[in-house]
Structure formats: structure tokens, C-alpha cells
Amino acid sequence: MRHYTTDSPEAMSRIVALALLADGALDPREIESLDKQAILDKLGISHGTLDRVTHEFCDDLLQCARAPNVGQIELDRDLVKHLLDDLRAPEKQQQALAAMVDIVHADGCLNSGEALLVSEAMSRWGLELQHVSRTEVRRATRKATGSAHAQRRAA
């Protein structure tokens, strides 16, 4: 797998590519969501950078990912963790998680690869989703159940 500078537009682009490919193939609805939801603008990456990084990512996947069916890939947990570690700035992680959720929900179906990606990102980055439909992302905190319940009521 190629190395990109931590928190770079290329690292962010690869996370977007990962979300697009997490279900094993590119879905036109997920690609359309990039423009419809202005995801690339929100992330500060260009279409050209995303296209280049997506092609590079696909080349890299052909070398290392499992391919149980022709034209489909299968991501493993270790690869996902490795790629998620390329984003370290908390604000970049929050933006990336919001983008992932928008992308994987674009086709109205959440498969196991997409669920793995989102849950691994939340766990690795210490984030939680408060309102999935609005993709409001907050830092996860370890609070007592009563305190967390009171915080949710106040929100």
C-alpha cells in the first residue's frame, strides 16, 4: 500500500475511496453523493486528486486485498486500521467520518464492509454519531450512564 503524508489531501482522498469501495464495488449513487452533498468541497480535496488516489488505491488493492468474486474486493480489518491511521488531526477525522456516513448511506443499504469501516473509524478515532441523518459527529467520551443520558436530553 502506498504511503501518503499524514492528514494530506491524498490521505483524505484515500479514506473517501475506501468508503466508496467498502461494499466491494463502486456504486453510481455513492459517486453521485460526492457532488450532491458537496463532500469533496467539505474535505478540501479536488476531483483530480480523488480520481488519481482512487486509481492508485485500486492498483494497491489488486496487490493485497482479498477478491472472492471477480470484480469485487474484500477489505480486512488490519488494512482498514492502517488506512485510518493516516488521519490524525481530530477535525480531519470528524470530517472523514461524516463523509463516510454520507457515502455509505447514499445507496440506502449498509453492508458488512461499510459497517466495518464506519465502526472501525469510530472506534479508532474515538468518535460517535449523535444524529446519523445529519451526520453530526462528536468526540466520544467515557461518562457515567446517567451523565451521558442527561447530556443527550440537553442536546
pLDDT of residue 148: 44
Residue-wise pLDDT for 39-51, tens only, equals: 999 999 999 999 9
For 120, how many CA atoms within 13 A lie in the half-sphere containing its CB?
21
143: pLDDT strictly greater than 60: no
Write down all domains in the chain, each with its CATH number in brackets: 9-154 (1.10.3680)
The CA-atom distances, in angstroms, between 92 and each of 45, 82, 86, 115 are: 12, 16, 10, 20
